[in-house]
Structure 1
Amino acid sequence: MNLRKRMVSPLPANTVGNLVWAFPVLIEESDIKLHEVVVKLRKGLTDFCNDKANRFKCEDGFAVVSEYHTKEAEFISRGVNIFRCTSLCKFPIYDMDFGWGKPTWVATSMGFKNFIVLIDSKLGENIEAWVTLAEQEMAIFQRDEMLLSFASLNPSAAVHESRM
Structure 2
Amino acid sequence: MCRMAPTHDDPTGRTGPAAGPHASGGPIRLLAIRDTPLSVDEVFAAVGDDAAGGTTLFVGTVRDHDGDSAAAVTGLGYSAHPSAEAELRRVAEKVAADFPVRALAAVHRVGDLKVGDIAVVVAVSCPHRGEAFAASRRLIDDLKSEVPIWKHQTFTDGTEEWVGA
Q: TM-score, normalised by structure 1?
A: 0.28
Q: TM-score, normalised by structure 2?
A: 0.28
Pick the structure with more strand per residue: 2
Q: Which structure has the higher relative contact order (CA within 8 Å, separation 6+)?
A: 2
